[in-house]
Amino acid sequence: MIKYTFSIYMLVILSTCYAQIESNLEDSKTDSLDKIKEDSIQLAHKNSHQFSYTSEYTSKVVFRGRDFGLQQYGVTNNFEYKNPSGFYATLNNYSWSGIYTFIAKTDIGLGFEKEIGKYLTINACYEKWFFADDPFFDPNSLNNMFSADVSTNFDKLNFDLGYYYIWGNDAALLLSLTTDYRIDLPSFSENIYLAIDPTLLGEAFAGDNSVAILNKKGKKRKTAPIYLQQDLSMANYEFSLPLSIEYKNITITPTYHYSYPIALSDEDPPLSSYLVGGFSYFTISAQFDFYFFKKHEKKTTSNILYRK
């Protein structure tokens, strides 16, 4: 069933992308001065060294639609550096109210992002995970992740197809498909940009024999039974409604989320309250972007850097 579902998704994506390209080609014939200005800003950013800091609060800590019975809120701090060639490094710190240490989890990552033509972007990243010394965690179960995704770069409707392979003593495969549509909102200032992005997310899991790593004797390891099963199947759907408020190099994003997890074959919904129906939660993030231009770039460009 999952193969047919993703086949239908991909057909919809391809047909929609074709329509988007046709529309963008038509719109490009009548570009406004604002559009030209925005393109020049984005080009300047691409040729810059970028440092970003993001802090996010979430009213409910969830992993692929699951909170594993812990009713906790959390704060994430992300630091990222990206050079003009597309290579980047990240540091993520997670603080969760249900874990009795200041930092529950730390991720260190290295990745590469590249635009392919005008309408596609590819991204690949490796992360190493470090967990706090807490009975809730098995620090060696899943502590490495390789991710790759392909996303579109249209003005309004966009898609992102993601692949995540996580391993340690156990292994997991995750696939995600995201669809979002940007709606620009009227603003009371030319330096403030407002938009909402209704977003739909579908996530699938796999484990056991379908995704496994080999130990030194060549035998497949048994994977974690908490949220993995043998076959790839849908595990979570989520709708979110973020509001983007951009002012110069600052972006504030409050977001409403509605998640609807799907029980896997080895999960028992009556014993797991988070698998009975859907639930809502709220996040709010603040992102600060800083750009450092190459020596041959004109610094006067920085006077109009009010959009990402």
The string of pLDDT tens digits covering residues 266-307 is: 776 655 666 767 889 999 999 999 988 765 544 444 333 434
Strand 233-247 to 157-167 pairing: unpaired
Strand 199-206 to 183-185 pairing: unpaired
Quick check: 51 pLDDT over 90?
Answer: yes
Structure-token pair, residue 287: 């992102």
CB 261 within 8 A of CB 279: no
Task: Tell me how far apart the alpha carbons of residues 74 and 96 are, in angstroms, rounded to a whole number.
Answer: 4
pTM score over 0.85: no
* Predicted local confidence at residue 19, as pLDDT: 53
Structure-token pair, residue 304: 């109009």
- The residue written with tokens 């991720």 in the block is 107
Strand partners, 20: none
E strand or H helix that includes residue 9: helix 2-27
Tell me the pLDDT band of 40, cut-offs 50, 70 and 90.
low
Task: Tell me how far apart the alpha carbons of residues 189 and 181 are, in angstroms, rounded to a whole number.
Answer: 23
Mean pLDDT of 232-239: 91
Residues shown for the chain: 308
Question: Residue 105, exposed/middle/buried by CB under 10 A (0-12, 13-18, 19+)?
Answer: buried
Region of 17 (left: φ > 0; alpha: ψ -120 to 50; beta: rest) is alpha
Select the more confidently predicted residue: 236 or 141: 236
* Predicted local confidence at residue 108, as pLDDT: 98
Quick check: 157 pLDDT over 60?
Answer: yes
